[in-house]
Chains A and B, each alone.
Chain A
Amino acid sequence: MTSSLRFRAAVVSIVLFAAFLGIWHLATRSTGAVGNMSPEYAKLMGLTATQGKSAMPGPLDVGAKLWEHLRQPFYDNGPNDKGLGIQLGYSIARVGLGYLLAVIVAIPLGFLIGMSPLISKALDPFIQVLKPISPLAWMPLALYTIKDSSVSAIFVIFICSVWPMLLNTAFGVAAVRKEWINVARTLEVGTVRRAFTVILPAAAPTILTGMRISIGIAWLVIVAAEMLVGGTGIGYFVWNEWNNLSITNVIIAILMIGIVGMLLDQILARFTRMVTFPE
């Protein structure tokens, strides 16, 4: 029954996708010659004026361009003309680095907050004030102090992914069942061993959920951050293609951002499943 449900869902998905492409195609197709004009004038004006074609690229244009990009993802023709693969690579590297730094800071600090009511109460006001700040608001300060746009982008990723991880780790650690802690206590398990053998596995699903939220936010923020800092990355690519008025490339970039975001989320989802235990 489940496989048939899955099959039927896939059919509906494909039908919806086909309908979307069809409508898109119909809405952007050429309507034929608009009027008589000299061929030279027509050439200057382009298809939009002469054939009644929409300024929006159709699915066929996007598909052709996408194929071009996929065939050559890593070409490098100078600062403003790099392959999509290279641009995505820069973005993923920045996200990866900022995220890793956030993991290194947030998880031990979250443990401390979760285990010590004193630290928890003492740090709470800072977290409450810092958490709602838009990560991009840090950008000028980061650029001023770090003086390097690429590192600033990494800092922005760090600052935006640290909060969900920190709060989830603290919550997960504080919510570990008392009886499991008591088991460790009656077995005279030391603090460090208790942290690794009882608290960490018990809190792991909550921690991983925080990490999953963080990677989503980090991937959202990197596009905006790269639009600001420029140079490289998928966010810069989007802005650069906007300046080139290449809507086709903008659409392709949007699609790629979506796909990479989904993959990152799926990777974390898989890790979450690995540490989740049934009770």
Chain B
Amino acid sequence: MTDKFISIEGIARRYPGAGGGETTIFEDLWLSMKRGEFGCVIGHSGCGKTTVLNILAGLDQPSEGAVIVDGQAIEGTSLDRAVIFQSHALLPWRTVLGNVAYAVTSKWRNWDRAKVKAHAQKFIDLVGLTGSEHKRPSELSGGMKQRVGIARALSITPKIMLMDEPFSALDALTRGTLQDEVRRICLETGQTAFMITHDVDEAIYLADKIFLMTNGPGAVLAEIVENPLPKDRGRIDLHRHPLYYALRNHIVDFLVSRSKTFAATVTDYDPRNVPVVRPGKPELVVAAEAEDSIEASWPSVARPSTSA
């Protein structure tokens, strides 16, 4: 296949166990994404989501397997892959501008001051922090700090943006606005993005592809959910879309029950050909079944109008 921009090929991560053995967090993980796609990984804590992201970032090495990005196997970290950290990880002794400029000078070492400043300013404006350039991170709110983190990641114009639960430490309102920003920026720039989240709605709003991982240790990528909602979806009326609840119920159902029982119930699992499902689309049996079963046991869940 030629349209694999990111291709994770059979990676595994094992840690030395207590009794001399090894603990396998996950193994034989295959995953691919196209250029410009937004991928979200959802799974319970301990399934190795963060490890997958760190391996993609080059901060961690897989025990087996390889990751290929844009036709090249990755080796260590790279300016092509920017990371937005959960804890924003701003350098507290630098100003907002200083933090972004640090990334800019790291990428373009021979740029002069004015050029670096202008470039950094462009991205500070993009995330809506105009006027706060000379503030230090300690003077910013949590949401503003994460905006700086986003500006810093975008300023190096990476091929991929990697996000490790970037909004989980924020309040719901701030999270919503930042999701809007990220979605707008990714759509405008055609940015390829890979994100880890706990938040089902966040994944539905942002992602084109949602990767569902089973519980660790020994976690596997259970299925890939293709988001059936239109590209121009808005956060406000997302839940009114006819396919929204089918999709949401499918994911929640997976997290609640199937993520635990997956290994025991699915016998013909092939890690290289993970089933792709499009909830709500008639040609998909898996999704339809899941929806039916939930509707039977808990009918109100499937009625969008009542909970809106």
Residues of B within 8 A of A40 (CB): none
B102 & A187 in contact (Cβ 8 Å cutoff): yes
A187 & B103 in contact (Cβ 8 Å cutoff): yes
Contact of B89 among A182, A201, A275 (CB under 8 A): A182
Name A132-189 residues within 8 Å CB distance of B. Answer: 177, 179-180, 182-183, 185-189
A279 & B79 in contact (Cβ 8 Å cutoff): no
B85 & A187 in contact (Cβ 8 Å cutoff): no
Please tell me if B174 contacts chain A, counting CB pairs below 8 Å: no
Q: How near does chain A come to B237, taking the closest CB pair, in angstroms?
A: 36
Please tell me if A197 contacts chain B, counting CB pairs below 8 Å: yes
Residues of A within 8 A of B59 (CB): 182, 185-186
- 0/1 string, B62-93, CB within 8 A of A gives 1: 00000000000000111101110101010111
B85 & A183 in contact (Cβ 8 Å cutoff): yes
The chain B residue with its CB closest to the CB of A179 is: B89
Q: How near does chain B come to A197, taking the closest CB pair, in angstroms?
A: 7
Residues of B within 8 A of A39 (CB): none
Contact of B87 among A179, A188, A197 (CB under 8 A): A179
A182 & B93 in contact (Cβ 8 Å cutoff): no
Contact of B136 among A180, A201, A277 (CB under 8 A): A277
B106 & A279 in contact (Cβ 8 Å cutoff): no
B79 & A187 in contact (Cβ 8 Å cutoff): yes
**Given A197-B102, A277-B136, A278-B138, A188:B79 Cβ within 8 A:** yes
Please tell me if B222 contacts chain A, counting CB pairs below 8 Å: no
B91 & A180 in contact (Cβ 8 Å cutoff): yes
Q: Complex Cα distance A187/B101, Å?
A: 12
B57 & A186 in contact (Cβ 8 Å cutoff): yes
The chain B residue with its CB closest to the CB of A182 is: B59
B138 & A277 in contact (Cβ 8 Å cutoff): yes
Please tell me if B58 contacts chain A, counting CB pairs below 8 Å: yes
Contact of A186 among B81, B87, B137 (CB under 8 A): B81
**Given A277-B138, A278-B138, A279-B138, A187:B106 Cβ within 8 A:** yes
Q: Complex Cα distance A279/B138, Å?
A: 5
Residues of A within 8 A of B198 (CB): none
Among B76, B77, B136, B137, chain A packs the most CB atoms within 10 A around the CB of B77
Residues of A within 8 A of B103 (CB): 187
Please tell me if B175 contacts chain A, counting CB pairs below 8 Å: no
Please tell me if A198 contacts chain B, counting CB pairs below 8 Å: yes
B93 & A277 in contact (Cβ 8 Å cutoff): yes
The chain B residue with its CB closest to the CB of A275 is: B93
Please tell me if B206 contacts chain A, counting CB pairs below 8 Å: no
Q: Complex Cα distance A189/B78, Å?
A: 10
At the interface, is chain B mostly helix, strand, loop or mixed?
A: loop
Please tell me if B107 contacts chain A, counting CB pairs below 8 Å: yes
A201 & B156 in contact (Cβ 8 Å cutoff): no
Q: Complex Cα distance A26/B238, Å?
A: 88
Q: How near does chain A come to B195, taking the closest CB pair, in angstroms?
A: 16
Q: How near does chain B come to A181, taking the closest CB pair, in angstroms?
A: 10
Q: Complex Cα distance A278/B83, Å?
A: 24
A188 & B78 in contact (Cβ 8 Å cutoff): yes
Name A243-279 residues within 8 Å CB distance of B. Answer: 275, 277-279
Q: How near does chain B come to A35, taking the closest CB pair, in angstroms?
A: 74
**Given A182-B59, A182-B83, A189-B106, A278:B92 Cβ within 8 A:** yes
Residues of B within 8 A of A198 (CB): 91
A183 & B89 in contact (Cβ 8 Å cutoff): yes
Residues of A within 8 A of B76 (CB): 185
Name B79-127 residues within 8 Å CB distance of A. Answer: 79, 81-83, 85, 87, 89, 91-93, 102-103, 106-107
**Given A201-B93, A279-B92, A186:B77 Cβ within 8 A:** yes
Contact of A182 among B81, B85, B138, B156 (CB under 8 A): B85
B58 & A186 in contact (Cβ 8 Å cutoff): yes
Q: Complex Cα distance A201/B82, Å?
A: 23
- 0/1 string, A188-204, CB within 8 A of B gives 1: 11000000011001100
The chain A residue with its CB closest to the CB of B91 is: A180
The chain A residue with its CB closest to the CB of B152 is: A183
A180 & B156 in contact (Cβ 8 Å cutoff): no
Residues of B within 8 A of A277 (CB): 92-93, 136, 138
Residues of A within 8 A of B77 (CB): 185-188
Q: Complex Cα distance A201/B92, Å?
A: 9
Q: Complex Cα distance A159/B32, Å?
A: 59
Residues of B within 8 A of A183 (CB): 83, 85, 89, 91
Q: How near does chain B come to A199, taking the closest CB pair, in angstroms?
A: 11
Q: How near does chain B come to A179, taking the closest CB pair, in angstroms?
A: 4
Residues of B within 8 A of A (CB): 57-59, 76-79, 81-83, 85, 87, 89, 91-93, 102-103, 106-107, 136-138, 156
Q: What are 14 pairs between A and B in contact, CB < 8 Å?
A: A177-B89, A179-B87, A180-B91, A182-B85, A186-B57, A186-B78, A186-B82, A187-B79, A187-B102, A187-B156, A188-B77, A188-B79, A189-B106, A202-B91
Residues of A within 8 A of B (CB): 177, 179-180, 182-183, 185-189, 197-198, 201-202, 275, 277-279
Given A186-B81, A187-B103: 6 more A-B contacts, CB < 8 Å: A179-B89, A180-B89, A186-B57, A187-B102, A198-B91, A277-B136
- A-B interface, 7 closest residue pairs, ranked by CB to CB distance from nearest: A179-B89, A187-B106, A278-B138, A277-B93, A277-B92, A201-B93, A185-B77
